[in-house]
Amino acid sequence: MRIRLVVGALLASACLAAPVMVSTEAAPALVLAEVYRNSIDPAAYWVSEKLDGVRAYWDGKQLYFRSGHPVPAPAWFTRDFPATPLDGELWLGRGTFERLSGIVRKTEPVDAEWRQVRYMLFELPGAGGTFSVRKDRLARLVEQAGIPWLQAVEQFRVDDRKALQAKLDGVVAAGGEGLMLHRADAQYSAGRSDDLVKLKPFLDREARVVAHLPGEGRNTGRLGALLVEDENGRQFRIGTGFSDAQRENPPTVGSLVTYRYRGLTAKGLPRFPAFLRIREAF
């Protein structure tokens, strides 16, 4: 199976009159991914599989979701973690996001369920040196910790776009989500930049739910669309991609959702945004 490399950009969207977005706890400042563009030379990057998990930040003492809310993990899960900041994904395996989300959202963790969870690491927040240096240090920390559920994400290099395409095809064919590219010579810098880019067979983004818009016709009396707001405060509607059950019980106001879209219109709006999943409701 061959999947064309996607050319992407930061989504832009029109501002609509709407309620003020619900505030959340202070989120940690982490590296965020841009979307891969054909102008990027993959030979300058370390490449890894994009894990469809739940982002988690370890500050050396406590594990947090990307929202800033503490992860209700069992004490044994984090007890022997290194006393240094770590960034990664809580992960069960390919195609298991919904089950994983159910496990890590429980305020009373279930040990038997958490025994299946791995903390897959890909960054050392705030550490010095290039990404090549940081990834090697991360591998040593994981080896020294000797904890089966604490692992470093495998990083590899490719020579060119053809080789990157082949890797993408293989990962997706095996049920994976896509690839992440970390620029090898990048110093650590929080925020969104080309130091970290994601490559998937479709474009997706995240947005915060700010309102439920009523449906019409067959959707009368239930959800018609979500009014959402992106990280830059721009608001737009997502009206497709929902199951009947999700229209009856939609994502709560304040929750973070992932949506797919097919590029941008001439006005810079996300084209055909469609609901994919609740990304974070913690």
Res. 22: pLDDT tops 60: no
Least confident range of 17-21, 30-34, 241-245, 272-276: 17-21
What is the structure's pLDDT at 59?
95
Q: Where in the chain is the domain with CATH 3.30.470.30?
A: 31-199
Higher pLDDT pick, 39 / 8: 39
**DSSP for residue 106:** -
Please, is 116 exposed, middle or buried when counting C-beta atoms within 10 Å of its C-beta (0-12, 13-18, 19+)? middle
Give me the mean pLDDT over the 217-237 stretch.
Answer: 91
pLDDT category at 78 given cuts 50, 70, 90 is very high
Higher pLDDT pick, 130 / 3: 130
Rounded to whole angstroms, the Cα distance separating 71 from 58 reads 10
Q: For the CA atoms of 68, 70, 73, 79, what is the dihedral angle to 10 degrees?
A: 100
Q: Which one, of 25, 5, 32, lies nearest residue 190 by Cα?
A: 32
Please, is 129 exposed, middle or buried when counting C-beta atoms within 10 Å of its C-beta (0-12, 13-18, 19+)? middle
| Catalytic member of 50, 135, 198, 200 | 50
Tokens of 30: 């982490």
pLDDT category at 14 given cuts 50, 70, 90 is very low
First-to-last C-alpha distance (Å) of the chain: 36
Buried b (16+ CB within 10 A) or exposed e, 212-251: beebeeebeebbbbbbbbbeeebbbbbbebbeeebbeebb
Question: Which spans in the chain are helix H?
Answer: 75-78, 97-104, 111-114, 131-145, 161-173, 244-248
50 is catalytic: yes
Helices and strands: H and E segment counts in the chain = 6, 14
Write the single-letter amino acid at 102. G
What is the structure's pLDDT at 6?
44
Tokens of 245: 């059950």
Res. 9: pLDDT tops 50: no
pLDDT category at 189 given cuts 50, 70, 90 is very high
Q: What are phi and psi of 210, to 5 degrees?
A: -115, -20
Write the single-letter amino acid at 183. R
Question: Order of strands, edge to edge, in the sheet holding 179-183?
Answer: 31-35, 191-199, 179-183, 45-49
Rounded to whole angstroms, the Cα distance separating 74 from 179 reads 30
pLDDT category at 279 given cuts 50, 70, 90 is confident
The count of C-alpha atoms lying within 13 angstroms of the C-alpha of 256, restricted to the half-sphere facing its C-beta, is 18
pLDDT category at 128 given cuts 50, 70, 90 is very high
pLDDT category at 10 given cuts 50, 70, 90 is very low
Tokens of 182: 């970390």
CATH topology classification for 203-280: OB fold (Dihydrolipoamide Acetyltransferase, E2P) (2.40.50)
Are the beta carbons of 164 and 44 closer than 8 angstroms?
no
Res. 104: pLDDT tops 50: yes
CATH topology classification for 31-199: D-amino Acid Aminotransferase; Chain A, domain 1 (3.30.470)
Q: What are phi and psi of 238, to 5 degrees?
A: -120, 115
Q: Where in the chain is the domain with CATH 2.40.50.140?
A: 203-280
Are the beta carbons of 37 and 7 closer than 8 angstroms?
yes
Give me the mean pLDDT over the 159-188 stretch.
Answer: 95
